[in-house]
Structure formats: structure tokens, C-alpha cells
Amino acid sequence: MITFGGLVTAVAIMFGIVAVGSTVPVLPTGAAVSATAVLGAHYSPLAVPVVIAVGGLGAYVGDAITFTICRAGGEALTRRLKLLRQPWKLAETVRERLHRRPVTALLVSRLVPGGRIPVLLAAAIVGLSWRTFIVSNIAACLLWSATYSAIGLLSRNVFPQPWQGVVCAIIVVLAAGQIAGWVEKRRQRSVQENDTNAGVTP
């Protein structure tokens, strides 16, 4: 049985993991949200929106810190950390996407493994305004948190015990992240090969 105190502790830990993991991408932020959503659902269905809101807030705080660092460092930071091989080429692509669908661009950058920081760096390079970032990223972070909460809730419907749903949610999220990362690497490799072939003259 999940107690109120246990739920509060779990939500607080989730917030810390998401906020820190959104700044230093070494923590499983999506898995933390999914697992906490399972615990929240076992306590009360009304707890799930709280989990989504707190997860989104943690993601937003982490993104804001990262975006601040990116704006301060700009292109020099990208080259020093070697995060972007072609920063201006990616920046122009990000500029177009952010101007057309800013919420979608920021949301996708969170769902694709390793995609968030490069997109925020590129957004900083092209001078994305704070106003656009603040407004668009609210929706993006909440949708991201809701997506991973939904993954957790699906696993909860399969297993009767809270710990079983938590374990399943973590495994599913980590496996999905690995698969998405593998697909993204294959796509980037294909793009690089096409660029190389296009540059070869007969």
C-alpha cells in the first residue's frame, strides 16, 4: 500500500532526477516519471496529474538551466564540447522547425535520445528568444511528462503490484530509448554516407 508520505517522497525524488537529468543527461528522466506515475496511480487516480505536472516542472527547470548555459556559451561552447559537428547547418534546420512548430520541435528533441541538448544549443545559436522558449517549452515539457506517465500507467494495468508496474515501466522506457537511439544512429549514418557520396565526383 502506497502511503501519502511515500508518494510525496517519490514525487520529490522524481523532480530531482528529472531536473538534474535535464541539465546533465546521465539520469533516466523518462523512467523516473513512468515509475512515479505507477506509484501515484496505486495511491489515487487524482495523483497522476500531480505527477505529470511535477515531472513537467522538473523538465522545464532543467531545460531553462541548459538553455541559459547554451545562450551564454553559444557556438564556442558547441565546438569546445564537440556536441555538434555542423552547428550552423543544424542551427538553420532548428530555426525553421522552431518558427513553424516550436512546441513540436522541443517535444521531439526530448523524446529522441540525445536530441535535447543539441537542439537547445542550436536554438541558442540562432538566437531563439526567451519568450518563445518559455511559452513553447511549457507545453513540450508537460506533453513529455504525460507521455512517459502514460507508459507507466499501461504497465500498471498489466501488473497488480506497484513494484511490478514500476519495474516494467523502467524496463520499457529504457528499452524504447535504446531502440530509438539505435534508429537515430542508423539515420545519421545514412545521412553522412549520402553527403559523402554526393561530394564524390566521377
> pLDDT tens digits for 26-58?
888 888 898 899 888 888 889 999 999 999 999
> pLDDT tens digits for 128-156?
788 888 888 888 899 889 988 888 888 76
On the question of pLDDT at 113 being above 60, the answer is yes
Instruction: Please give the grid coordinates belonging to residue 121.
Output: 544549443
**pLDDT attached to residue 12:** 96
**pLDDT attached to residue 183:** 55
Please tell me the pTM assigned to this model: 0.72
Please answer whether residues 138 and 60 qualify as being in contact, where contact means their C-beta atoms are separated by less than 8 angstroms: yes
**pLDDT attached to residue 23:** 85
How far is Cα 120 from Cα 195, in angstroms, rounded to an integer? 24
> pLDDT tens digits for 186-195?
655 664 555 5
| Domain boundaries along the sequence of the chain | 4-192
**pLDDT attached to residue 48:** 92
DSSP 114-158: T-HHHHHHHHHHTT--HHHHHHHHHHHHHHHHHHHHHHHHHHHHH
On the question of pLDDT at 103 being above 70, the answer is yes
Please answer whether residues 40 and 156 qualify as being in contact, where contact means their C-beta atoms are separated by less than 8 angstroms: no
